[in-house]
Structure 1
Amino acid sequence: MSRGRQRSTSNTTQRESPVHNFASILDYHLAQRPDAVVVAQDERRLTVRQFHERVNRLAAGLAELGIGRGDVVGLLLYNRPEFLELVYAANRLGAVFLPLNYRLSEEEWQYILGHAQAKAIVTEPEFAPAVERSAGCLTDLEHRILVEDDSSTAPWTSADGRTATDAWTGYEDLLARHPGARVEPVDVGLDDLQRLMYTSGTTSRPKGVCVTYGNLQAKNLAHIVHFGLTAADTTLVCGPLYHVGGLDMPALATLYAGGGVVLQRRFDAPGVLRAIQEHRVTNVWLAPAMVNAVLEVPDRESYDTTSVRFVLGGGEKTPEPVLRRIMTAFPNAWFADAYGLTETVSGDTFLDREHALAKLGSVGRPVPHTRVRIVDDTGKEVPAGELGEITLRGPKVFAGYWRDEKATAAALRDGWFHTGDIGHVDEDGFLFIDDRKKDMIVSGGENIATPEVERVLYEHPAVLEAAVVGLSHPRWGEVPRAFVVFRPGASAGTEELREFCRARLAKFKVPARFDIVDELPRTPSGKVLKRTLRDLAAGGER
């Protein structure tokens, strides 16, 4: 989707209905189970009735600020109930919410907010100064809303001496102005935009993934069917809500089914076990690094984890010894290795309990209404067992990239989403991932596009050429490693390069190692041979 401010992608009023608005599910559950706890974090407990009331007051407050259909609202928050309140409130108005990765740099936030044409941003004190510094460059940004734990105090002062209360709207103040408000969910079509999520692809800038109401509805129903989610389920969200793993695997599906969620502000391995025991959690998504951290908690055996019936994983192959440790740590659960992308709202395939060991290494078979096809370079489907590009089709597949027709056309071809990942299916239809997207590093569950890191290195005045590959890491799986060629007569120290990157990139994207080389290996046509660099990195040379 390359248009400017997106109002609606539907072209017939017959297709529009509040039934399709995700926020309307909250009204249904209010009538069914008003006193059930729907969101919990630390000592906070919100029943469906309380959550519904706050969502409606927030929606009225946002409407007062002029937020309406198609307007983009950025969310730069740690995991907290307000994040989910904003999801429902924005959708109630037909607005689009934009989760921002809090691990990114100030420059990266500024780019995403500007590219998304965000009209408002909601954040908390830790990030407010950075947002304030960027606000002057963001012509579309009209409102800054601050979520404070104590709204009576201003936690920071801007460069010109203004406090947060002078320049910002207080979140709780916004709610307080609308007691008893009731905002009906607007009519939306299945093709209307529900959210924007920026993801690192194979380009130098992240791309905005357009997720529609139809995408989300298909994903929720697929996960409800596959895992048998009901109102009796409780999802622990210990991964970040800005990520589809935290938000959609399967938190929003659990809420859709009438269950509840428990939020961990930031991942804490012992806290995961405490939350499972206290809240009788039934499911949780854990990235590979998170799995390892939980398994290494010294007194893990002292916690009662018998309530967990499935653990969702994905991101890299799970070795059999690790899988057996997971099964011991969660004795009543199966580990559902998964494959999915931001572009498909996560969770396209899952490995079922019965085949957890028999199909070890597989990420399972597709969820309902999702098709997987392996194709060769010409787009022709290959036989079982042969490697090719993984392509996906179905109502979960995204609508396109925001304001990027070229990238959309490259990814969505002939009715199929071309993922760029390499894999194969066996004779039983189980998918195996054989290689990741070209030039992609996965570090602690986060995608790092190597051209994004290279772009920053090229901005350094001493750097002539740069290439970044993944370096194996015992905790994070991979970390970036940079190979740098200096300009004639120029030089820079490793720490100088590192600090240069730190000022422009999220911490996890900064190369862990810099190798200064005379030249980069290239093909006869001039393309950098990253496979050679990866082999070099794996061999521990230089």
Structure 2
Amino acid sequence: MHSPLSETSRSGTDSHPGSDGLDGEENVPSLLARQARDRGTALALSAMSQGLGRHRLTYSELHGAAGAAAAWLRQSGLKTGDRLGIYLTNDWALECFVAALGALTLGAVAVPLNTRSAAPELGHAIALTTPRLVLCDASGHERLVEGCQLACRAEPGFDDAMPIILDPALLTAPTAGEVPPTIEVQPSVDALGCLLFTSGTTARAKAVMHTHRTMIATGRCTGAALGLRSDDIYQGAFPFFTSSALNLAGMSCWVAGAGLVIEGQIDNEARLDLVRDEGTTFYHGVPSILNFMTQAHDPARHDLTGLRMVANGGASMPVELTDRIAHLWPWVQQVQIYGMTESGPAGTVLPPERMQEKAGSVGRAMEGMTIEILDDEAQPLATGELGEIALSGAPVAVGYFRNPDATEKSFRGRRIRTGDVGRLDRDGYLWFGDRKKDLINRGGLKIASVAVETVLYRHPDVLEAAVVAVPHPDLGEDVAAVVTLRPGATPEGISDGLKELCRNALADYEVPRNIFICESLPRNPMGKILKGELRRNLQKCLNRDGT
């Protein structure tokens, strides 16, 4: 494959208003082509590659790399409408983005796969999306093969759709003098562009369908809400399998003409070094990462005077952390956004000028988005009343892939019912209540309590299981489990056995750090477990024990 991945210049990043295509419809390849013309020598992407190390591409180079990737993928068997699985960590982030853009250039669909999933969940994702090709390196090969084997057993006939596994190193291996074939496909703006998996409010995650139109709408909406400029260097700590990587960070930067810096698997000192070395002006991360950054910052080593904005997304921002950032980096403005995979993730924004006045809120609707608070019959509630949050707007996905029942339940045109509970104040700012579907938000990664409970119930001595969130000083929330035992069972070794069971069946961040054994669980008169009461009791217990 021809690859234009050569050393790039940081020139051409002077600020100027960039056209965002608002006067006409664009697909993603057209957006890249336009920015290659308008911003050709400006930084488009800085990311890790196992073969090249940290590597930088200008807009012209990124456009060329996407075209070359499309040609290679077509030669490897990918056709328009097919799905490309991408099962790689951020240490291959360069290949992840280039491959995804290559698939979109070909009119195919990018499917980022969760590299932290256990084999059963990975098998479900593969069986659901039936990718023709999957990019996977040696470290993930064994689990991917196991997932494919599980998919074959779970889905009759899947063996006929077994994907071809490709080495991502081939994607960036240049062949001197080779000119990639012309890709003449022009995908419709309403063609599928990517399938992004939810965290799952049951044991099975759903694949959210985003088209070229909704992907670019997400970039316009979130980029404008964040105040991204064409001279910004935007750095994010988002795993590629999340919607925050391709849809939020990628599309927001490339619509604005900004430079995107994606972190590999690094520690917090290296993260701060990257801010310094890349000249990052805009940093975006979840509160747990921002918290670690404030603790690791050494002014003598990390010059952050070029940083102008810090954004939080993925979890509510503690007021204490907002205050600490303001104290350490007084020249930096702060902004918070809220959204979900189904909404782009576009949704709300808490702008810098309202961070103090509206501390604790997740903001007001982004321009182009609408917030409603609904009752159980999906009717709008009055200001101040608690209900289910619904988001509407152009970035909202078109439904769940191969899941019409779930689509019918959650989507109504351009509106998505989030499953979160909140209220709107008189100024239109959104405040969270409880999580309607008992999702746990561990450092920005969403965990379905039901999925963890399902695994706990596999233990032969467990009678009942309940999983809830407990406060964590760095991550915001952590996973705690409470179980009751069957008559005759003894508690010795139960906790260790349950953790081992979870480690073999769940992603690492889903495994409960604390497991408690009790005689009974609190219930209401109808027999439903009172998780709110359980959370409060656990918090008191943890506070008393100092753990």
Q: Under a length normalisation based on structure 2, what TM-score does the superposition of the two structures give?
A: 0.86
Matched, 1:503 2:474: no
Kept in 2: contact 1:385–1:426 (CA 8 A): yes
Shift in CA distance, 339/309, structure 1 to aligned 2, threshold 3 Å: same
Shift in CA distance, 301/433, structure 1 to aligned 2, threshold 3 Å: farther
1:466, distance to aligned residue in structure 2 (A)? 1.5
Superposed CA offset, 1:4-56 (max 9, x none): xxxxxxxxxxxxxx953212222222223333332224642223333333222
Aligned equivalent of 1:171: 171
1:301, distance to aligned residue in structure 2 (A)? 6.2
Shift in CA distance, 278/466, structure 1 to aligned 2, threshold 3 Å: same
Alignment of 1:322-471 (within 5 A): 322-413=321-412, 416-471=415-470
- State the percentage of identical aligned residues: 32
Letter of the structure 2 residue corresponding to residue 29 of structure 1: Q
Shift in CA distance, 300/363, structure 1 to aligned 2, threshold 3 Å: farther
Alignment of 1:167-206 (within 5 A): 170-172=170-172, 176=175, 179-184=178-183, 186-206=185-205
Greater Cα shift, 89-98 or 488-497: 488-497
1:526, distance to aligned residue in structure 2 (A)? 2.9
In 2: Cα distance, 1:183 partner to 1:421 partner: 46
In 1: Cα distance, 2:322 partner to 2:249 partner: 20
Aligned equivalent of 1:517: 518
1:288, distance to aligned residue in structure 2 (A)? 1.1
Picking from 30, 33, 38, the partner of 1:27 is 33
1:379, distance to aligned residue in structure 2 (A)? 2.7
1:203, distance to aligned residue in structure 2 (A)? 1.2
Aligned equivalent of 1:232: 231
Greater Cα shift, 112-121 or 322-331: 322-331
Kept in 2: contact 1:21–1:185 (CA 8 A): no
In 2: Cα distance, 1:430 partner to 1:469 partner: 27
Kept in 2: contact 1:423–1:434 (CA 8 A): yes
Aligned equivalent of 1:286: 285
Kept in 2: contact 1:470–1:478 (CA 8 A): yes
In 2: Cα distance, 1:507 partner to 1:109 partner: 13
Letter of the structure 2 residue corresponding to residue 521 of structure 1: P
1:415, distance to aligned residue in structure 2 (A)? 5.6
Q: 1:229 aligns to what SS in structure 2?
A: coil
Kept in 2: contact 1:59–1:183 (CA 8 A): no
Aligned equivalent of 1:530: 531
Superposed CA offset, 1:72-112 (max 9, x none): 11112122211110121010111111112222222221221
1:414, distance to aligned residue in structure 2 (A)? 7.2
Kept in 1: contact 2:86–2:136 (CA 8 A): yes
Shift in CA distance, 381/505, structure 1 to aligned 2, threshold 3 Å: same
In 2: Cα distance, 1:300 partner to 1:185 partner: 51
Matched, 1:106 2:146: no
Greater Cα shift, 528-537 or 505-514: 528-537
Kept in 1: contact 2:308–2:333 (CA 8 A): yes
In 1: Cα distance, 2:503 partner to 2:178 partner: 44
Letter of the structure 1 residue corresponding to residue 63 of structure 2: H
Letter of the structure 1 residue corresponding to residue 35 of structure 2: H
Picking from 67, 71, 89, the partner of 1:60 is 71
Aligned equivalent of 1:158: none
Kept in 1: contact 2:383–2:426 (CA 8 A): yes
In 2: Cα distance, 1:484 partner to 1:178 partner: 64
Alignment of 1:85-96 (within 5 A): 85-96=98-109
Aligned equivalent of 1:36: 42
Q: 1:378 aligns to what SS in structure 2?
A: coil
Kept in 2: contact 1:311–1:336 (CA 8 A): yes
Shift in CA distance, 320/493, structure 1 to aligned 2, threshold 3 Å: closer
In 2: Cα distance, 1:495 partner to 1:300 partner: 42
In 1: Cα distance, 2:184 partner to 2:42 partner: 22
Letter of the structure 1 residue corresponding to residue 57 of structure 2: L
Aligned equivalent of 2:308: 309
1:287, distance to aligned residue in structure 2 (A)? 0.4
Picking from 120, 128, 147, the partner of 2:133 is 120
Q: 2:367 aligns to what SS in structure 1?
A: coil
Q: 1:358 aligns to what SS in structure 2?
A: coil
Greater Cα shift, 301-310 or 460-469: 301-310
Shift in CA distance, 520/333, structure 1 to aligned 2, threshold 3 Å: same
In 1: Cα distance, 2:270 partner to 2:292 partner: 11
Shift in CA distance, 244/315, structure 1 to aligned 2, threshold 3 Å: same
Matched, 1:46 2:52: no
Superposed CA offset, 1:100-131 (max 9, x none): 22222222212211122122111222212222
Number of aligned residue pairs:
503
Kept in 2: contact 1:391–1:416 (CA 8 A): yes
- Backbone CA RMSD of aligned residues: 2.4
Kept in 1: contact 2:272–2:297 (CA 8 A): no
Kept in 1: contact 2:130–2:163 (CA 8 A): no
Shift in CA distance, 208/264, structure 1 to aligned 2, threshold 3 Å: same
In 2: Cα distance, 1:481 partner to 1:316 partner: 18
1:298, distance to aligned residue in structure 2 (A)? 4.7
Letter of the structure 2 residue corresponding to residue 503 of structure 1: N
Contiguous gaps of at least 5 residues in structure 2: 1-23, 48-52, 152-158
Kept in 1: contact 2:25–2:189 (CA 8 A): no
In 2: Cα distance, 1:35 partner to 1:413 partner: 42
In 2: Cα distance, 1:45 partner to 1:191 partner: 31
Matched, 1:134 2:147: yes
In 2: Cα distance, 1:134 partner to 1:318 partner: 36
Shift in CA distance, 23/466, structure 1 to aligned 2, threshold 3 Å: same
1:336, distance to aligned residue in structure 2 (A)? 0.9
Shift in CA distance, 314/261, structure 1 to aligned 2, threshold 3 Å: closer
Superposed CA offset, 1:138-177 (max 9, x none): 43233111224xxxxxxxxxxxxxxxxxxxxx4346x649
Superposed CA offset, 1:258-287 (max 9, x none): 222122112432222222222221212110
Kept in 2: contact 1:312–1:338 (CA 8 A): yes
In 1: Cα distance, 2:33 partner to 2:177 partner: 18
Alignment of 1:245-264 (within 5 A): 245-264=244-263
Q: 1:540 aligns to what SS in structure 2?
A: helix
In 1: Cα distance, 2:265 partner to 2:390 partner: 33
In 2: Cα distance, 1:330 partner to 1:67 partner: 48
Q: 2:80 aligns to what SS in structure 1?
A: coil
Aligned equivalent of 2:154: none
